[in-house]
Structure 1
Amino acid sequence: MVSVPGGGATGSGKTTTIKLLNRFYDIQQGSIKVSGVEVREWDLRALRRHIGVVLQDVFLFSGDVCANLALGDSSIPMERIQKAAQIANAERFIQRLPERFYARVKERGSNFSGGQRQLLSLARVLVFEPEILVMDEATSSVDTDTELLIRDAMEKIMRNRTCLLIAHRLSTIRNADRIIVLHHGKVRETGSHAELMEKKGIYHRLYQLQYEREVDVPRVHE
């Protein structure tokens, strides 16, 4: 798993990295390879089937839950959809819906909470079983209980996959094999959490700032 911590300047290149990997536009210089092959040499549809993306702003279309998870592909068995929802911790709330997997989804999923949309997004990725998983701010803007469900789902989904995780909450990427710190469009630091903390550079500073905010809880004086 490779992680790109946020918190740096706007325009550092975190989201651009995702777009280049998926060939939303081609690189002008340098090289990006997937399974040892230049992304420009991949068939575009094959490349995007190879990569699953979970974004902060989840897109759901008007229809039902099942169609959203299968992206309208009616050939996908219901058992596969249900299994993906179960692993992604989405099945519990789906089963509480009046029509369950056939419950109506309004445009952009406006009748679901942000956390529910994120769980559906994780389930949708699992339905297509990508070899590479990209997650951008998957745990932001959700309540604590839902964040725990999302983190648990992420741990299960990331097993035996190459993962690129972009996160502002640095506690979510501590166990990454490699962390890449982008700042003003350039790679400034790279290494594991322990290695970057020892360097006492940008990552160390960001992590300390976040840790201090998390533990700075008002004390009650007797």
Structure 2
Amino acid sequence: MDRLRPYGLRDENSSPVTLAHDVGYHQLVSHWLRTHCVTEPYIIATNRQLSNPFSPGKYSLELCAVAYDLEWRFDHQALPADLIIRGMAEEDPNAPHGLRLTINDYPFANDSLLIWDALKQWVSAYVTHYYPNSSVVESNKELQKWWEEIRTVGHGDKKDEPWWPTLRTQQGLIDIITTIIWVASGHHVVVNFGQYAYAGYFPSKPTIARTKMPSEDPSDQEWKLFVENPEASLL
């Protein structure tokens, strides 16, 4: 799939096979992997390391494991970084949000950047209130164990990657928390709930496309139909 293509953009004349591939990548990588799957270590480490003052399938996983190994990086999950890496924006200090979009009419970026800024503003106020300076962040044993478990246990196969942010400053904590909240909220809203308007009609986004393989024998009528009209053959 073209990594520069905005989420959900497909030619209306795309074949059923292309649509099935598209929805498979979207569900397994953009949706499940980048939100549900990679968020789990944050939750586990939070429960294990931070004090709580209150009492209150088969090939799919293999596909996601490959995509995770090849593509997933924590520092690329922040919205601005995600847009830049996918070629949808460039850094520009004079532009709104510090980014110049390569496609102006791109609701995912336009709307999401407003949410990202609101999240970061809220997290910044919270962090600076409870951690008034960087030394408090660096010396907090619970915080350090929490971040260490996320990196070295939850994402142990990537624990030695150089792109992991360090948790030594207020800004480092702000960036980490904002990214985690964004993935579990704004990003998930887009890749999950935004599907229904189009994908609610199943033929638009078939989650599986399966038929027996043609024999490639010129005398095989099914093969002839497939060559002449693959969409009709699949349907």
TM-score (norm. length: structure 1) = 0.26
User: Which structure carries more helix by proportion?
Assistant: 2
Q: Greater strand share, 1 or 2?
A: 1
The TM-score, its normalising length taken from structure 2, stands at 0.25
